[in-house]
Structure 1
Amino acid sequence: MLQCNDLVKKYMNKTAVDGISFEAEKGKIYALLGPNGSGKTTLMKMIAGLVKPTSGTITYKGNPIGVESKKRVAYMSTEPFFYNYMSVADVGKYYKDFFEDFDEKRYEELVERMELGMRDKAKTLSSGLAAKLKIAATLARKAELYMLDEPLNGIDIIAREKIITAVLEVAREDSTILISSHLVDELEKIIDNAVFIKSGSIVLNGDAENLRASHGKSIVELYKEIYA
């Protein structure tokens, strides 16, 4: 589904991503793990086609990232991406105009589940509610690749469970999910693969069950060992 080969991204004299090679298969949930500043967001933005690599290549289903891949990739960034004048209902209309795979009924269901109101204004939402709105809009698409950048940030424990349930609902045999986070304990129970990124490079990558068996540690314990 997705292949990254020796990706490098430099900003002036800073290297945000340093030689990352990574593959993602259909039907699996991948966790991109690491603290803030490790390169997770930059990697996702390159896959989404929003940032151009300094060097290296990215292919989606064998083709370079471009217009066609963007039609199939649902990316949720950490930054807010709605206009202040928009209501929750306007956000749905906005997404419907941009994405052919946007499911209005699914969006309405997610909005209700996230305890949002269709008349609520985006600019008046708390950070937690704004995060839920981004989740609802992103997961209402019938995409092939979902990328969620820190979807659990600013979310209380009860709401996290709702978000994880919504993520599992879009997990299909023909779809792939990438989730970046430093809240490893929340993700360990649902992921198939763990990708540990440190200082812009992958330091450990593999099937989550195999990593636990070969190291004799949980994914949470491995995280603590790598980043302590």
Structure 2
Amino acid sequence: MALRIPEGKEAVVSEFPPPQPAPAAPEAPQPAPAFAPDAPQPTPTFAPLPSSVPVLWCQNLTKTYGSAVALDRLTISVPAGRIVGLLGPNGSGKTTLLKMIAGVSHPTAGEVRVAGLPIGPQSKALVSYLPERPYFSRSMRVREMLAYFADFYSDFDGALAHEMLGRLGVDPAAACSTLSKGTVEKVQLTLVMARHAALYLLDEPIGGVDPAARDYILSTIIHAYRPQSTIILSTHLVRDVESVLDDFILLRYGQMLLHAPVAYVREKGTTLDAFFREEFRC
């Protein structure tokens, strides 16, 4: 049975809003020169959205694989300036949802818009996506990965990337083949958060690191976060991320159970972690 927020509770709007005119299409990003640490770097950013245009909205979003339903008629609206936890057990549809927002997977039915734009080159230019699995060649060096992003994304902030790597204790000259799995994930998180994007999609950003590093990584995310942007952070480690979240979305078997502020569960005298465990206990 789906959960419902009682009337009178302040909650993030989860119903699909009336369609709004999309903002003027941003100019196509131009390739930037390869990053040189001593050279000044441009840091373009997207124009602030009108309050009537959510950063993300989906209507009846559905994804099936044969007879298996990965996501079932999800309808949701997420405004700018929020850090949102996408929560649910394995197989609940979290990764499927993020892939469709990022445009690397296509819905079977329904619609997705980012900043009022349908999924396509213009929306993808506003999204910075961290997939669950590493995707760079182990033969590359960290600085080569930075240069790759600087060439590909005009909104990549090389100075910020170097600052974040310093906070995480990563040597830009290091070869990826010499780095641990957790350190590779730190580097990829740095690349994603060093962009000036409208929407950040982070799929299990702390799942592959040791507990001692999780708080440090979360603080790095917050340090790089810009208030006009929105972060959607998928995880099953609710206790670790609860303190940085504004809102949460609960998914189960591809369906949305609840989309609400974290304050909603705190008003009940509990924590989001306890609320999650109670809802999904076996």
TM-score normalised by the chain length of structure 2: 0.78
Q: Does 1:108 align with 2:162?
A: yes
Query: Counterpart in 1 of 2:204?
Result: 150
Partner-residue secondary structure (3-state), 1:56: strand
Deviations 1:63-101 (A, max 9, x none): 201101111111000111112221000000010111111
Given that residues 146 and 158 in structure 2 are in contact (C-alpha distance below 8 angstroms), is that contact kept between their aligned partners in structure 1?
A: yes
Residue 52 of structure 1: how far off its partner (Å): 0.3
**Which residues in structure 2 correspond to 1:34-45 (within 5 Å)?**
34-45=88-99
Residue 157 of structure 1: how far off its partner (Å): 2.5
Q: 1:219 aligns with which of 258, 268, 272?
A: 272
Residue 216 of structure 1: how far off its partner (Å): 3.5
Tell me, in whole angstroms, the C-alpha distance in 1 between the residues paired with 2:128 and 2:272.
26
Residue 217 of structure 1: how far off its partner (Å): 2.3
Compare CA radii of gyration and give the structure with the larger one: 2
Partner-residue secondary structure (3-state), 1:84: coil
Given that residues 167 and 220 in structure 2 are in contact (C-alpha distance below 8 angstroms), is that contact kept between their aligned partners in structure 1?
A: no
Letter in 1 for 2:219: T
Query: Counterpart in 2 of 1:199?
Result: 253
Query: Counterpart in 1 of 2:75?
Result: 21
Query: Counterpart in 1 of 2:263?
Result: 209
Long gaps (5+) in structure 2: 1-54
Q: Does 1:99 align with 2:153?
A: yes
Q: Which structure has greater strand proportion?
A: 1
Letter in 2 for 1:223: F
Long gaps (5+) in structure 1: none
Deviations 1:182-201 (A, max 9, x none): 00001111111011111111
Deviations 1:154-197 (A, max 9, x none): 21233212211111123333100100000000111111101111
Letter in 2 for 1:42: T
Q: Does 1:165 align with 2:219?
A: yes
Q: Which structure has greater helix proportion?
A: 1
Given that residues 28 and 171 in structure 1 are in contact (C-alpha distance below 8 angstroms), is that contact kept between their aligned partners in structure 2?
A: no
TM-score normalised by the chain length of structure 1: 0.95
Q: How many residues align?
A: 227
Query: Counterpart in 1 of 2:126?
Result: 72
Q: Does 1:126 align with 2:203?
A: no
Deviations 1:132-160 (A, max 9, x none): 11111111111111111000112123321
Given that residues 27 and 171 in structure 1 are in contact (C-alpha distance below 8 angstroms), is that contact kept between their aligned partners in structure 2?
A: no
RMSD (Å) for aligned C-alpha atoms: 1.2
Letter in 1 for 2:56: L
Partner-residue secondary structure (3-state), 1:79: coil
